[in-house]
Amino acid sequence: MSVNAVRDDEKSVSTGKIKTLLRLFRYLLAYKKEILFVLIIMTCTVTITLINPLIVERAIDVYIANRDMNGLVKLGIYAIGLNLIFILLVKLRMYIMAKISNNVLLTVRQELYTHIQKLSFSFFDSRPTGKILARIIGDVNSLKDVLSNSVTTLIPDFITICAVVGIMVIKNYKLAFAAMISLPLLIAGMWLIQIYSHVRWQIHRKKSSNLNAFIHEDLSGMRIIQSFTAESETEKDFDILLSEHRGSFVNAVYFADAFGPVIDFCWGLGTVSLYFIGVKMAGNNTVPVGTLIAFGTYISMFWRPIMNLSNFYNQLVTNVTGAERIFEIMDTKPEIKDADKVSELPEIKGDVHFEHVTFAYDEDTKVLNDVSFHVKPGETIALVGPTGAGKTTIVNLISRFYDVSEGNIIIDNYNVKDVSIESLRQQMGIMTQDNFLFSGTIKDNIRYGKLDATDDEIIAAAKSVNAHDFIMKLEKGYDTELKERGNGLSVGQRQLLAFARTMVSSPKILILDEATSSIDTHTEILVQQGIEALLKGRTSFVIAHRLSTIQKADRIFVIDDGGIKEEGTAKELIEKKGFYYDLYMAQFKNI
């Protein structure tokens, strides 16, 4: 790579960091009054800090030199009072900034989580849950010190440096030049360090995400790991990721920790230079002893803020990558979103039209190709076909989890793209293979389908799918607390609760995607009675590999090769002796 290319890359990285920081600091604008008050406090504390060396200078050159003990005592009392005020102001500043930074973190995390909930399925399909979790928790937490120190360190220390330089130059420009002689060396050293540091922290953040993603996946699949006695293999993978994480951290810290030694060296060089020149000038009686001692204090006041600023810059380099990763998600646009002017979908009857619908998850492979059909209100449509034929894609398009590539989907004369997503999905009940249950009571999990459902509605929904009996046998009935994902219940019981959750919402369009795949034959008979009651008066789409569950469907669509290959009732399709007939015979010929 050429020198110009490297410089352009460095310039691009620096510009990106500045934009990220400015965007982050905009969150502080919501607390303008509080920050203004903090700035006033810091002005007072900086002033007191600058006055202290002058008090020492006056004590030595005036009161001690003239043996004025009364004046020295008064000056000491004044200094003690002034510094007590300093301590109280610092405590107050820390309290206010801690409150502000915590509130900003809360806002950032809320905005990030809210935005993530609006993102399309494709976003989650391409990212492990652990990596998303790392950004919501770890990356947001990493911003706390940056937000707090941006006000409490950056501004006062910069003011302190400028004020100290001004005071030293006014009092004695020769001593000031001697104290700051190593400043160019510091600037060159910091510039070189930051070039390499930022990239290495980016790598470390990625390694952290990889480690989080692995741990999350590993814990979620622990039953499978132990079932196949694969503990040793996962431990090896974990050790590799852990080693990469440690190596990236060491590599990043190697450069970040170089700030301190460079500043210490420059500080020491400046101090030696100051006293070398100062002692000579004091020997010639051109500088009072008190002034030289004051300059010794001022040089510390000059270099210590630089040390603080370098640590703050180190924090920026370390944590700005976290902010970049947060804003990367916030800048991700939902693929499925409401148009600028959408209407609310009124209460529907359930009339569904597919008009020449084509859909592809990517440009290379079409899942559906020019599919058209009409479903009347109250009809039950069963979708069968081989895995990957497009059955689930059809129901996902009806719910608008994805948008069609070509064609239109019309519900009660409304194009699904012309109505709000919320008003569309509120009138749909979706039951999938993944009977996910949340931590909380059984009652809360069923009520998730309709947040304002009464206890009577919840019980009625549970009874309709024959879940009421097993619920009442539990220790606390409907108030029984469920563990994560419903652990402690059988697969069939979890699925019954998921059925009740769907039923309580009273949907106009019902979607059952392999909804009985995990229920045993005995339980299936009980659930089938509830399903039949639910299907009455509702437009329903049922995907099932068990053909026994769809024998009473009004029509069956056989999906294959991106289209509808056969259509009709179960009896009609058997008489055709086509694909459905073969599938039916494969399941029932030995019964």
Provide CB contacts within 8 A for 44, sequence distance 6+: 85, 86, 89
Please give the pLDDT value at position 228: 67
Axis crossing angle, helix 289-330 with helix 32-58, rounded to the nearest 10: 160
Please give the pLDDT value at position 10: 47
Q: Distance between CA 293 and CA 297 in Å, rounded?
A: 7
Residue pair 410/395 in contact by the 8 Å Cβ criterion: no
Nearest alpha-carbon partner for 94 in 43, 140, 151, 29 = 151
Provide CB contacts within 8 A for 372, sequence distance 6+: 354, 355, 356, 357, 407
Nearest alpha-carbon partner for 546 in 570, 566, 568 = 570
17-330: CATH, from 1.10.3720.10, 1.20.1560.10, 3.30.530.80, 2.60.120.480: 1.20.1560.10
Q: Distance between CA 440 and CA 32 in Å, rounded?
A: 40
Please give the pLDDT value at position 283: 63
Handedness of CA 537, 543, 549, 553 (dihedral sign): positive
Please give the pLDDT value at position 69: 85
Please give the pLDDT value at position 377: 92
Report the Cα 117 to chain-centroid distance in Å. Answer: 10
Please give the pLDDT value at position 181: 82
Give the pairing type, strands 414-415 and 406-411: antiparallel
Please give the pLDDT value at position 8: 47
Whole-model pTM: value is 0.64
Nearest alpha-carbon partner for 37 in 104, 97, 106, 88 = 97
Burial of 69 (0-12, 13-18, 19+ CB in 10 A): exposed
Altogether, the residues listed in the chain come to a count of: 591
Q: Distance between CA 228 and CA 221 in Å, rounded?
A: 11
Please give the pLDDT value at position 392: 87
Q: Distance between CA 208 and CA 137 in Å, rounded?
A: 12
Between the CA of residue 409 and those of 59, 355, 385, 566, what are the distances in Å?
87, 6, 22, 21
Residue pair 569/553 in contact by the 8 Å Cβ criterion: yes
Residue pair 562/356 in contact by the 8 Å Cβ criterion: no
Q: Distance between CA 178 and CA 172 in Å, rounded?
A: 10
Provide CB contacts within 8 A for 202, sequence distance 6+: 321, 324
Q: Distance between CA 55 and CA 49 in Å, rounded?
A: 10
Report the Cα 55 to chain-centroid distance in Å. Answer: 51
Say whether 358 sits in a helix, a strand or coil: strand
- Domain 352-588 -> CATH class: alpha beta
Q: Mean pLDDT per 10-residue run, the chain (591 residues)?
A: 44 64 83 88 84 80 80 86 90 86 87 85 73 77 74 75 82 80 80 72 78 77 72 84 85 72 81 79 69 77 79 72 82 83 89 93 82 92 87 90 91 92 87 76 87 88 85 88 76 81 86 69 65 76 79 89 90 88 74 49
Please give the pLDDT value at position 489: 80
Residue pair 186/266 in contact by the 8 Å Cβ criterion: yes
Comparing 17-330 with 352-588, is the CATH topology the same?
no
**Domain ranges (residues) in the chain:** 17-330, 352-588
Handedness of CA 31, 37, 42, 45 (dihedral sign): negative
Please give the pLDDT value at position 154: 73
